[in-house]
Structure 1
Amino acid sequence: MQEPVTTRFDSLAGFGAQLRACLAAARARIDLFDPDCAVFALGATDVDAALRAFLKGGGVLRVAMHTPAHIERHFPRFQRLLRDYSHGVACRATPRALHGLTDSFCIVDDVHVLRRFHSDHMRGEAAFASPGAVDLPRHRFDAIWEESAVTLQPTTTGL
C-alpha cells in the first residue's frame, strides 16, 4: 500500500506536474470539475495520450464544468478523444444556479485528489493515497454531477 503524500503547488507548472501524476495513477475513474477546464490541458499531446491509455484500459472519465466553450474552441484533441471513447467519457455542464462555484479539482479512483482552492488562482494541493482528502471533493462532485446536464456530445445527434 502506498504511503499518503500531499504536495502543495502555486504555479501552472506545479499544477501541470501534479495533474500528470494523477493521470499516471488513474486505474478506474477520473472525475474533473472546473468552471471551464482551461487549466486541465485536455488538448495537450501528453495528456491526450495518458487519457487514451486510461480509457483503453477500461477507465471512466467524467468532466463537469460551467461552460464547454473553452474545450470547444481550444481542445480539438479532447473532442476526438470524446468521439473515439464515447463509451468511457461523459461531460456535463452545470446549471446557472451553480455558476458561483469557483473551486477546481480532479478525483482519481477515490484515493487521489488534485485541488485548486479557487479557479482564478494556481494555489492548491495534490493528495495521493489519501481517501480522507477525497471525501469533501467526492461529495461536491457527486452533487454537481446530479444537477448538471449533458454537454459535448460525440456527434451532433448525440449518438
Structure 2
Amino acid sequence: MPSDSVEKRVISFDTRAAFQEQLRECISKAQITLRMFDPNFSLWELGSTQMDTLLRRFLSHHGKLELVAHTNAELERHAPRFARLLTDYSHAIECRLTAPSLKLLTDSFCVADERHIVRRFHSDHLRGQAVYDSEPDTQVPLERFSAIWAETVPGLHAGTTGL
C-alpha cells in the first residue's frame, strides 16, 4: 500500500550559517502562513537578497507573514529590502511589538504552515533545531505564538522609517 505521508525530519544546528540555512529552508516550504518570533531578528538576515526572494515568492502566492519582536530597530536600520517588502505586501505582512511584560522572552522561532519549525532555544545562542513535516512539533510553539501575539501592539508598518 503506497504511503502519501512525508517522514518527519529533525536537524540540530549550532552555527549562524546552519541556522540561516534551516531558516531559508523552512521559509521556502511555507505556502500559507509564516509566524516568526525573535527579540530583534538581528541574525535572521530578513534584509538579504536571498531572504527577500524567498519571502516575495511566498507572499506573491497569497501567503501571510506574522512577525513579533521586542524591537524593530534592527529591521528599520539594516533591512531596507524588508522595508520595501513590507510596502509591496502590506496587506499580507503584520509586524507587532511585544508588551513590556514580555521583554524577558528570549527564544526565537519560525513556524511555517503549522508543520515546519526552526527554533533557537535562546536568542543569545545559536544552538537550535529544525523540524520538518511534523504538526505535533509545532503545536506548543504555535500556542506560545498566539499567547505572545495577544499581548502585542502594532509595530513596523509600510513607510515606517528608523529614528
* Shorter-chain TM-score range: over 0.9
Alignment of 1:122-141 (within 5 A): 122-141=126-145
**1:64 maps onto 2:71 in alignment:** no
**Equivalent position to 2:28, from 2, 24, 27:** 24
How far is 1:98 from its partner? 0.2
> How far apart, in 2, do the equivalents of 1:32 and 1:138 lie?
10
How far is 1:96 from its partner? 0.9
Matched to 1:78, the amino acid is F
Check the 8 A contact 2:69/2:96 in 1, yes or no. Answer: yes
Alignment of 1:6-17 (within 5 A): 6-17=10-21
**Equivalent position to 2:159, from 149, 155, 158:** 155
| Equivalent residue, structure 1, for 2:94 | 90
Q: Which has the larger radius of gyration?
A: 2
**1:100 maps onto 2:104 in alignment:** yes
Check the 8 A contact 2:83/2:159 in 1, yes or no. Answer: no
SS in 2 for 1:97: helix
TM superposition outliers: structure 1 runs of 4+ over 3 Å = none
| Equivalent residue, structure 2, for 1:80 | 84
| Equivalent residue, structure 1, for 2:58 | 54
Of Structure 1 and Structure 2, the greater helix share is in 1
**Identity across aligned pairs (percent)?**
46
Runs of 5+ consecutive residues of structure 2 not aligned to the other structure: none
How far is 1:2 from its partner? 1.6
**Equivalent position to 1:39, from 35, 39, 43:** 43
Runs of 5+ consecutive residues of structure 1 not aligned to the other structure: none
Output the TM-score relative to the length of structure 1: 0.96
SS in 1 for 2:43: helix
Matched to 2:133, the amino acid is A
Output the TM-score relative to the length of structure 2: 0.94
